[in-house]
Amino acid sequence: MAIRTVVWGENVHEQHNRIVASLYPDGMHQCIADALNADPDISATTATLQDPEHGLTQERLAETDVLVWWGHAAHGDVADDVVERVCNAVWSGMGMMFLHSAHFSKPFKRLMGSPCNLTWREAGERERLWVTSRNHPITRGLPDSFELEMEEMYGEPFGVPEPLETVFISWFQGGDVFRSGLTYKRGAGNVFYFRPGHETYPTYHDANVHTVLKNGVRWAFNPMARVKDPNEAPNVPVEAAPEKIEERGPKLHAEGEEGFR
């Protein structure tokens, strides 16, 4: 079965900005989904901020293998309960890929536990992404580096935790660098951040970017069954201890009692 992927787009610039609308007439999310659907092993649909529950109901997340997120102008409009629902899905095993300005999205900040800030400049400068982890699955089919002729600059220091692996580092014409491909695990879920994708440039029409997107979905996908309750903290009864022990000493909790949260 194909990897069930949902591309979430906030779908705001496309509605209000002529440049973005002309680059992505069906929305950035649809362009990304189309790129993913070119891979027979991926089955991508879309969801947007404007959909009821932002298109991310409990039921839909339960049937989503990988969620892709692009947001920018309307981070604050994403409902907190949907954010918590998305994080719980990640913790239970759903893969997640954050794109570009999603560095400041609520779910990314929630999953990183850090400011996720950076420096930036919108000047149409050249970006060159270098592979830093040889033969990493996310780099499959790519040369050692590739260019995007016009992109927004994101610069270090990038306020994220040290990743499991740094996969890409970007060079910018204006003199900055950025860790543009970073992998994480949160609970049972794989998380990938990929930098490029400013809305006023044709980044999501680029063939190398398509390759990364497809590889990213494949990497983030975990075929194992979801963890049923990723927040469960079970009180193991004394008689169920793997090794026989006898209870002793003072106690605060009654047998089988729930813990505090």
Size of the site for its own copies (CB under 8 A): 101
Q: How far is the CB of 37 from its own copies (least distance, A)?
A: 22
| Per-residue DSSP letter, 203 | G
Closest C-alpha to 171, from 159, 162, 180, 163? 180
Q: Using CA atoms, how far apart are residues 3 and 97, in angstroms rounded to an integer?
A: 14
Q: Is 237 in the site for its own copies (CB under 8 A)?
A: yes
In sequence order, the 6+-apart residues with CB closer than 8 A to the CB of 57 are none
Q: How far is the CB of 81 from its own copies (least distance, A)?
A: 15
Between residue 112 and residue 151, which ones bind its own copies under the rule CB under 8 A?
112-115, 117-125, 128, 130-135, 137, 140, 144-145, 147, 150
Nearer to its own copies, 58 or 115 (CB): 115
> Mask: binding to its own copies, 60-99, rule CB under 8 A, as x and -?
------------xxxxx----------x---x-x------
Residue 28: CA count within 13 A, CB half-sphere: 31
CB–CB of 206/157 below 8 Å?
Answer: no
Q: How far is the CB of 210 from its own copies (least distance, A)?
A: 18
Q: Is 184 in the site for its own copies (CB under 8 A)?
A: yes
User: Considering only residues 37, 45, 57, 166, which one is a binding residue for its own copies as defined by CB under 8 A?
Assistant: 166
CA of 106: how far to CAs of 23, 100, 127, 167, 192, in Å? 26, 14, 26, 23, 15
